[in-house]
Amino acid sequence: MKSMSLLLVVACMQFAGAANAQSGAELAKSKNCMNCHELDKKKVGPSFKDIAAKKPDEAATIAKLKEGKGHMKVAASDAELKTLVEYVMSQK
């Protein structure tokens, strides 16, 4: 019985995690990316469309944002960074 209820708790946690996953657009707003970027206009940084058009390497871009090399350091988890970069790259 004990293991059954434990299983249930784990299942609930996974469900809550999925429900909490933010979309790329929401994350970009909440992480203040949009202070410097717009989807299709140059602001402080290039537009997300311009960035996507250059098709930079996804892993390298994540590393750049994570380590703050050539870009301001972005405070986000690996999963969030992946979502953000995928969101940027999906702009066309």
Write out the residues near ligand HEC by the rule CB under 6 A: 28, 31-33, 35-37, 44-46, 51, 56, 61, 64-65, 70-72, 74, 84-85, 88
- Smallest separation (angstroms) from ligand HEC to the CB of 86: 10
For residues 24 and 90, the answer to whether their CB atoms sit within 8 Å is yes
Nearer to ligand HEC, 15 or 69 (CB): 69
What are 80's two structure tokens? 């969030």
Query: Whole-number minimum distance, CB 79 to ligand HEC, in Å?
Result: 13
| Nearest Cα to Cα of residue 88 among 59, 45, 50, 32 | 50
Q: What is the DSSP letter of 21?
A: P
Q: Give 73's contacts (C-beta < 8 A, 6+ positions apart).
A: 65, 66, 67
In this complex, which beta carbon is closest to ligand HEC, that of residue 22 or of residue 61?
61
Q: CB of 35: closest distance to ligand HEC in angstroms?
A: 5
